[in-house]
Amino acid sequence: DRDRIIPLSHAYQALEAIPRGRLEVMPGVGHFPQAEGPVAFVGILQDFLRTTEPATFAPEEQRDRLRRGQEGV
């Protein structure tokens, strides 16, 4: 919650735009959580890997998403 590069409000906006998104806010940590809070960061990462299903869609859908860019959001 101490990132001087990207405001926390941007994280909440991104969360709203990402289906099934997940946001972890590490109190007192800035832009480099892996360096500023490595133990907490690894715990969050491990939990994410353990509990999150990968997205699945056809290669054609991925290509179409990339071509649409922001207009498709």
Task: Kindly report, residue by residue over 1-21, the tens digit of the pLDDT.
Answer: 899 999 999 999 999 988 888
Task: Find all residues with CB under 8 Å of 52, minimum gap 6, and list them.
Answer: 22
Instruction: Give the single-character DSSP code of 54.
Output: P
Q: Tokens at residue 26, please?
A: 């590490």
> Can you give the pTM of this predicted structure?
0.70
Q: What is the pLDDT of residues 23-52, one digit of tens each?
A: 999 999 999 999 999 999 999 999 999 999
Task: Provide CB contacts within 8 A for 4, sequence distance 6+.
Answer: 30, 31
pLDDT at position 15: 92
The pLDDT-based confidence of 69 (bands split at 50, 70, 90) is confident
Are residues 30 and 2 in contact, defined by beta-carbon separation less than 8 angstroms?
A: yes
DSSP, collapsed to helix, strand or coil, labels residue 37 as coil
Residue 71's pLDDT is 58
User: Degrees (nearest 5) of the Cα angle 58, 62, 67?
Assistant: 145
